[in-house]
Structure formats: C-alpha cells, structure tokens
Amino acid sequence: MTHLGSQGTQYPTDYDPSVLETFENKHPGNDYFVKFNCPEFTSLCPITGQPDFATIYISY
C-alpha cells in the first residue's frame, strides 16, 4: 500500500440541486415504484486513487 497511497484527491460534499431535472406529477394520487440500475458505474478509490467499478441499484 505504500506505492498506492492517497493521491490527495478532493471529493466534493455539496451539490447543485439545479442540475436535477424535475417535472410535474400528472397523477399525484397514484403510488409509484421507481427502479434505476447503472451496471457500468466507475469511480476512483479514495484510498489508492485506482479505478473502481460497480453496479448501482436505486429503488424508491
């Protein structure tokens, strides 16, 4: 791990809500189940700085 140590990468902890797309719910009385799968999510390891790969599942 001495050769793979942190690269000093800064990770933001805030976000800009204006980048999210929104729209009116035409049927607010209905119950919904929303599922989003991202099978090719890539990121950088915060410890080593090396690429990491994952699948993200979001259901709400």
The catalytic site residues sit at 45, 52
Euclidean distance between CA atoms 49 and 1, whole angstroms: 11
Beta bridge partners of 39: none
Name the CA dihedral angle for 13, 32, 56, 20, rounded to a multiple of 10 degrees.
-40
